[in-house]
Structure 1
Amino acid sequence: MKPLKKIALGMLLALAATATAGWFSLDKETRGLLKTVPTNRDLLFWSVPQRDAAFRALDRIPLLAKWRVVQPSSTPRSLPPGSPLALPLDLDAYMAGQRSSAILIVQGGKLRVERYGLDYGPDGRWTSFSVAKSFTSTLVGAALKDGHIKSMDDKVSDYITSMKGSAYDDVSIRQLLTMTSGVRWNEDYGDPNSDVAKFNNHPPEAGVPSIVSYLRQLPRQAPAGERWLYSTGETNLVGILVSEATKRPLAQYLEEKIWKPAGMEQQATWILSKTGQEISGCCIQAAARDYARMGQFILEGAKVQGQGILPEGWLQDATTKRADIGKPGRGYGYQWWTYDDGSFAARGIFGQGIFIDPKRQLVIASNANWAGGASSPKESEAREAFYKAVQQAVDAEAAPSR
């Protein structure tokens, strides 16, 4: 029997043994997995067909992952339809170029565009990748409001005692959120020896979360607060910090502070590390409409029945430029990518994103599987151009007729 058929048979047996309603609801996702299931955890180096199958079902590959469930609201927020937005581009061609699985545009609180691709639809879930970073950041603000975190200027090792004696003794929570720790890290998605490629496979020390075990060995390269360097590992450390501060799993806190209060419609999942903690810089699985609801929740100030879940002014700080990333007109906030025009975005590799423009009351949620790779410049630039085109369409609609 060929190896792939053996794996498929093994998964089929696992399905029968597991016998849960969620597993048997997979339908085409399961069929896709059985045909093209990845055989290793190194998702950065999977083929395009493997990613097509797995991105919609990362939480249903028992050989690769464990996860926690995030339960939806009993009273989901409606996304009322609005009139179709007249876009100055060929949306079909754009989606084909992006290999989009979903694009939703909410403007003025109305769902004005909802399109799907890659044989994906509104009932499925798609992995977030680094879009999860902005969810994690929001939970830091919630923990601060709830009193679990005392100050953004507290040191990381005040909350994660196993980081004491490491380079993170000098790093504040604020610096961790803005990725200005000064600690060495390599986020090269094409290099199998980079930190981002290696940390998930690092053998953890006994009794220590895997990401803590990895990061506490890294040296300092610059003084804390003086240099911006993108680091997924550090967002994973943020998640550990929130869990330590709140004394609960991150998925549970997400459910309590965001998923249910914001009116999410479908169950989500959050993938766990080897040592059982949420990989908080990545890997929330959710429906496209719920990603759009997250954007709308943030656009409206992260409020529940008029009461903010975040400290006064915190969201403004989080979504405006706190660190210079070396690109004109852009910056980095608290795990949000910022634009000088006041808009901001959550971004994930292979084309995941939530773009938010308060001025235009605009949210764009998108999922994809870029053929060009994890952070392909071609697809990334096309997405930026798409955001601008949508902004132009909103402006043209609002302009007085002559």
Structure 2
Amino acid sequence: MRRFLPLLALAFVAAAPGRPIGADVLFWTQAQRDAGFGHMDRHYPTHAVPHGARPYPLLVGAPLSVAIPWKGSTLSLAQFMRAQHTAGLLVLDHGRIRLEVYGNGAGRDTRWTSFSVAKSVTSTLVGAAIRDGAISGLDESVTAIVPELRGSAYDGVTVRQVLTMTSGVAWNEDYSDPQSDVARLFLEPAAPGIDPTIAYLCRLKRAARPGTIWHYNTGETGLAGILVTRATHKSLAAYLSEKIWQPFGMAQEAYWGVGPGGQEPGGCCLSATLRDYGRFGLFMLGGGRAGDRNILPDDWVADATRATSQTDMPGRGYGFQWWTEAGGIYDAIGIFGQAIHIDPKRQLVVVMTSAWPSAIGPDLIAQRGALFDAVAVALDHGSARSRAGGPDR
């Protein structure tokens, strides 16, 4: 049974100037999650991510029937969605819609928050910035781009080590501890004109030599986002629109939450429709191309989705902010049940948005893994693939 460890990022954004909101989203009631995750722009300030003029077409293939083996029984899709509080489930097989269902009051136009799925998007924007020449390469020192970090634990740390979370900088990612680094990030004041993330990272200590130990660190993705904005002189939302959302043909505007310093947190807070998350998966499957344009360096997708480190989850590796597993499969994962599951050998993308009753949970994670397995089995054993298909609905 496949297991998944979600990327643990909180929606650290500012509800109003001077009123930073941190870990409160973890303690929303189920009703708040069901109603709020699809409308985060009603709660927090955001930057728009404009979409393209011509949507990438998603043709309709033969309907896919999926039954999920679970604890000696079999769950129907409806039972699975109720158990997972699923808002949307999309299966793209060779770019065709084989399954698309909604729940929790969500629909095709709902822009659902992705939590740490945004990490994989941010790392992809680093690749775009390298392709553009704004960042010289993976081995560039982060202090060359963010000189305020000189003299801190980030001396000698490279862009590559930030993307792979092997900086060696000490970080406490315990969400149950209000004194942990992830809980305190954005809550402590920064001097005027200093980005709050940079100010916080400057205080951290070194725990290991850079490049030697993998340690999950949401602050690291915040830094990755700052590297992009510093190097390109554009916001993450604007750069995402320019490099992917418009040229690849996302159908609807996305939005990205804005932190107290005006910077979008690289590790969270991107909201988009289910289909546009699916299109992002297809962008990755296509090697980072939009039409006849290479958006990413030639080998970026292969390098980003290859395990450069082993994690504390058996069978799970970590690339450039992507979780990896055997068979070349890779995933973008967020708390409360968000996922983009990509299987290159099957040309399969599965997108799931949810409002789990808890941020993580062994049964929830395992049950989601059972769904991914069931989809693969259905494709491999007798679900005829339609090559005709109709137009995008």
Contact kept in structure 2, 1:191 and 1:197, CA below 8 Å:
yes
User: Does the alignment pair 1:218 with 2:204?
Assistant: yes
Is residue 67 from structure 1 mapped to residue 46 from structure 2 by the alignment? yes
Unmatched tracts of structure 2, length 5 or more: 1-14, 69-75, 385-393
Out of 250-259 and 78-87, give the one that drifted further: 78-87
1:373-392 superposed Cα distances (whole Å, 9 cap, x missing partner): 21222211111121111111
Question: Higher relative CO (CA 8 A, sep ≥ 6), structure 1 or 2?
Answer: 2
Distance in 2 between residues matched to 1:258 and 1:180, nearest whole Å: 27
2:373 aligned residue: 388
Q: Paired residue for 2:363?
A: 378
Query: What's the CA shift for 1:189?
Result: 2.4
The equivalent residue for 1:303 is 289
The reply on whether 1:119 has 2:105 as its aligned counterpart is yes
CA distance in 1, matches of 2:186, 2:78: 36
Are the aligned partners of 2:64 and 2:383 in contact in 1 as well (CA < 8 Å)? no
1:105 paired residue among 64, 68, 91: 91
Change (3 A) 1:242 1:390: same
TM-superposed CA distance for 1:202, in Å, is 2.2
Once the two structures are superposed, what CA deviation does each residue of 1:133-191 show, in whole Å capped at 9, x if it has no partner?
A: 11101101100011001020111111011111110112110000000111111222233
Give the C-alpha shift of residue 200 in structure 1. 2.7
Q: 25, 35, 40: which one pairs with 1:53?
A: 35
Aligned partner of residue 59 in structure 2, secondary structure: coil
* CA positional deviation for 1:314: 1.3
Residue of structure 2 equivalent to 1:289: 275
Give the deviation of 1:326 after TM superposition. 3.0
What is the aligned counterpart of 2:63 among 68, 81, 84?
84
* 1:87 to partner: Cα distance: 1.4
Tell me, yes or no, if structure 1 residue 328 matches structure 2 residue 322: no
Q: Offset at 1:327?
A: 3.0
Q: Matched residues in 1 for 2:157 and 2:22: separation?
A: 34
Offset at residue 247 of structure 1 (A): 1.0
SS of 2:99's equivalent in the other structure is strand
SS of the aligned residue for 2:186 comes to: helix
**How far apart, CA to CA, are the structure 2 residues paired with 1:301 and 1:40?**
35
- Whether the aligned pair in 1 keeps the contact of 2:248 and 2:291 (CA below 8 Å) is no
Superposed CA offset, 1:38-74 (max 9, x none): x98621222222222221111112xxx2211011111
Where is the helix percentage greater, Structure 1 or Structure 2? Answer: 1
- Distance change in 2, residues 1:111/1:398 (3 Å): closer
3-state SS in 2 of match to 1:170: coil
| 1:346-393 deviations in Å (ceiling 9; x for gaps) | 00110001000000010001100111x212222111111211111111
1:40, 1:299 → 2: CA distance? 34
Of 390-399 and 104-113, deviating more is: 390-399
- Which residue, 156, 165, 187 being the options, matches 1:179? 165
Aligned counterparts of 1:190 and 1:391: Cα–Cα separation in 2 = 35
The SS at the match of 1:141 is helix
Cα shift readout 1:237-271 (whole Å, capped 9, x = no counterpart): 10001100111111110000010111111111111
Counterpart for residue 166 of structure 1: 152
Return closer, same or farther for 1:40/1:331 CA change in 2, 3 Å cut-off.
closer
Distance 1:82 1:289, change over 3 A: same
The gaps in structure 1 that reach 5 residues or longer are: 1-10, 15-38
C-alpha distance in 2 between matches for 1:202 and 1:238: 20
Moved over 6 A (4+): none
**Which structure shows the bigger proportion of residues in strand conformation?**
2
Task: Name the SS of the counterpart of 1:168 in structure 2.
Answer: coil
Cα gap change, 1:188 to 1:362, in 2 (>3 Å): same
Cα offsets for 1:89-146 (capped at 9, x unmatched): 3111111111110000000110010011111111111111000011101101100011
User: Which of the numbers 192, 216, 230 marks the counterpart of 1:230?
Assistant: 216
> What CA deviation, in whole Å up to 9, does each residue of 1:188-234 have, x standing for no partner?
22332222222132212221111111111011111111111111111
- Aligned counterparts of 2:348 and 2:333: Cα–Cα separation in 1: 16
State yes or no: 1:156 paired with 2:142. yes
TM-superposition CA deviations, 1:8-41 (whole Å, max 9, x none) = xxx9xx9xxxxxxxxxxxxxxxxxxxxxxxx986
In the alignment, structure 1 residue 43 sits paired with structure 2 residue 25: yes
Aligned-partner Cα distance in 1 for 2:116–2:322: 10
| Aligned residue identity for 1:51 | R
The answer to whether the 8 Å contact 2:120/2:321 transfers is yes
TM-score of the aligned structures, taking structure 2 as reference length = 0.88
Task: Work out whether residues 196 and 260 of structure 2, in 8 Å CA contact, stay in contact via their aligned partners in 1.
Answer: yes
Q: Tell me, yes or no, if structure 1 residue 366 matches structure 2 residue 352.
A: yes
Change (3 A) 1:40 1:233: closer
Q: Give the whole-Å Cα distance in 2 for the aligned partners of 1:50 and 1:198.
A: 23
